[in-house]
Amino acid sequence: MIIVILDRLSKSWIIEHLSLGQSIKVFPFFNIIYTYNRGAAFSFLNEAGGWQAWLFVIIAIGVSIFIIFWLFRLTKKQTLGKLSLALILGGTIGNLYDRIMYKHVIDFLDFYISSWHYPVFNVADSAICIGAIILIIELIWKRKTL
């Protein structure tokens, strides 16, 4: 729930204080910019015409249900697994909310070096990536200990 709340608060602030496309320079390598993405990660299918929004809604619901069942199967000792899945679930729900309410995901974190910009992302995307990294590390570590 913490991720969903942080994601909603940050996106609400962006919507209320910036106009679409407006950018605020924060550091020499970081801007806050109000943009959105109709596609998936790295704007995959961003220009597909609108049908992809519902595809990603269905995928997000399916992934969320799968993660919830997986969470219930973990033991109390599997705290890293629970943390990683909770981060992924929170991020998925945060972006799912956007897709249902706006038909796109609100993005605003813009990191760059010189003229090269990493794809703009949001709090939910960050949680999904961090959760996935933790999950991969735990799965690799678990394999080595078997």
Rounded CA Rg of the chain: 17
Active site residue 107: yes
Contact 91, 48 (CB under 8 A): no
The active-site residue, picked from 7, 98, 107, 110, is: 107
Comparing CA positions, the residue from 41, 31, 26, 96 lying closest to residue 65 is 96
Active site residue 7: no
The active-site residue, picked from 7, 98, 110, 125, is: 125
CA distances from 142 to 77, 80, 81, 135, 138 (A): 13, 11, 11, 10, 6
Residues annotated as catalytic (active site), given as ranges: 107, 125
